[in-house]
Amino acid sequence: MMRKTSVILLSAATGAALTLFVTQPRAVFMGSSARAATADTYRQLNLFGDVFERVRSDYVEKPDDTKLIESAISGMLTGLDPHSSYMDAKSFRDMQVQTRGEFGGLGIEVTMEDGLIKVVSPIDDTPASRAGVMANDIITNLDDEAVQGLTLNQAVEKMRGPVNTKIKLKIIRKGQDNPIDVTLVRDNIRVRSVRARVEQDDIAYIRITTFNEQTTEGLKREVSNLTNQIGDKLKGFIIDLRNNPGGLLEEAVTVSDSFLEKGEIVSTRGRNAEETQRRTAHAGDLTKGKPVIVLVNGGSASASEIVAGALQDHKRATIVGTRSFGKGSVQTIIPLGSGNGALRLTTARYYTPSGKSIQAKGIVPDIEVLQDVPDELKSRTDTKGEASLRGHLKNDGDEKTGSQSYVPPDAKDDKALKLAGDLLHGIKNSASAAPTPGGDNKATTDKPKAAN
C-alpha cells in the first residue's frame, strides 16, 4: 500500500506550507540480528504499556487516556531533535491554514528555548509588530498562564484565536530590568510574504519575509512591476532575506529557479541513499541576467538558506550581511489518519549545489557587514543559531553559534543595504572586494571584511 505524505522544509520557527509527494513502498528482509533487535523493541513497547496502565490505574486523579498517548508521542518526537514534533488534529488544520498565508493570530514567528517561547521575528504589519514585540523577546506568560511546561505547539495554539479577541503577553527583554506586559488584539493575519520598493531611483529592492504558497507568485509580480517602473536605468536587484525564518521547500526551489538558467539548486539526503533527491533549475531568469545582491543575517533560516546557498554557489549573487541561522534539515509532515493529527518528522538533510551541508554552520556571506546597534539593544542583537539548540543534528567540522540579526528600522542607517547599493552602482572599496553580482567572479582573491 502506498502512503501519502507531505513534505515541507520547516522554518526555525512555526508554520510552513505543504508540498505533496508519494513514497514508494520498500520490501524489508530481516536477518537474525535484525529479528533480535525487533524482539528487544517489542519488549520495550511492553514496558511502555505497563507504565501506561499503571498511570491510568494509580495516578492521583483520573487521567485522560488521549492526552496520555499524545504526551507520550510528543515526548518521543521532541527527544529526537528541536524540529520534530506531534501535532494534534487542530494544530494540523491550523498549520495547513497558516501555510496558505492567512490565519487568525498575533503575527509572530516563535521557537522554544529553555522551556520558554522565544520570538524569532514579528511579521510586518501585524498586532505583534505594531505593539513593538521584538526578535529575541522571551514570552514567559500567556494570559497570566506560565509558558513553562507547554510544548511549542500548545503555546502557539494559545496565541491563536478568533479575530478581535485579546491576549496578554508577559515578555522578558534583554536590557530591561522588569518584565513587559503587552495586550494584543488578535487579527486576521494575511502574510504578505513579498514586499518591494525602488531604491535610489535605479535599484529594485525586494524583501521576502517567509516562504509560503504565495511567495514565488509574489516575487514574479514584484520583479515585473519594478522592472517596468524603473525601466532601462535598472542597475540590479537586492533580495532581502534577513530575519526570514523559512517555510516551504518547494517555494525555496522555485524562488531560486527564478534567478538561474540551469544547474542544481538543492539536494536532500535521507538515511538511505535511494531517498536522495536533486532539484535543478529550468531555463528562464526573471531578471534577464541583472546583478543580484542577497542580504542575510542570523535570523535567515532554512528555506532562506537554500536560496542564498544556491545563488552563492552558482555565483549568481553576492551574499551580504552576517552568517545565517544554520538550519539544514528537512521535515516531513505525516498525517496519521482522520482526526489523529500528524507527525512533523525530520527525514533528511539538505545540501547546497556544491555539496555543503549548512546544518549548525549557516551560510557565510561573501561580505560580512555588522550593523551599528543602539546602546540599549547591544545585549540582544545576536541569534544563537541552530548549533545552540539542544538536541540539534550534528555536523562534521566546527559548528558555529552566534550571529548578528539586528536590522535598523530606518533604511538610511542600514549598512548592509547601503553596501548592496554601492556594489550595484559599481562602487568598490576594501570592504566590498567580493564577487561581482552576475559577473565573472573568478578573479576575486580578497577575503570578505567587515564594512565600517
- Residue among 81, 257, 313, 414 flagged as catalytic: 313
- Residue among 327, 361, 400, 415 flagged as catalytic: 327
Cβ atoms of residues 169 and 176 within 8 Å? no
- Residue 327 annotated in active site: yes
Residues in the chain, overall count: 452
Grid-cell match 515578555, residue found:
171
| Beta-bridge partners for 278 | 267
Select from 147, 150, 17, 127 the least CA-distant residue to 71: 150
Largest Cα–Cα distance of the chain, in whole Å? 77
Task: Give the amino acid at 232.
Answer: D
What is the Cα–Cα distance from 403 to 136, expressed in whole angstroms? 12
The helix/strand/coil state of 120 is strand
Cβ atoms of residues 11 and 246 within 8 Å? yes
Measured from the Cβ of residue 115, the count of other Cβ atoms closer than 10 Å reads 12
What is the Cα–Cα distance from 54 to 71, expressed in whole angstroms? 16
Detail the DSSP E strand segments found in 88-235: 102-105, 108-113, 116-122, 138-142, 145-146, 166-172, 180-185, 187-190, 194-199, 203-208
- Residue among 302, 357, 405, 432 flagged as catalytic: 302
Select from 2, 13, 84 the least CA-distant residue to 300: 13
Our CA dihedral for 440, 441, 445, 446, rounded to 10 degrees, sits at 110
- Residue 313 annotated in active site: yes
Element (H, E) at 22: strand 19-23
**First-to-last CA distance in the chain?**
61
Q: Cell numbers for 38, please give them.
A: 525487533
Alpha helices in 148-289 (DSSP H): 152-159, 215-230, 249-257
Q: Quick one: 65 exposed, middle or buried, by C-beta within 10 A (0-12, 13-18, 19+)?
A: exposed
What is the Cα–Cα distance from 224 to 401, expressed in whole angstroms? 38
What is the Cα–Cα distance from 359 to 387, expressed in whole angstroms? 8
Positions annotated as catalytic residues are 302, 313, 327
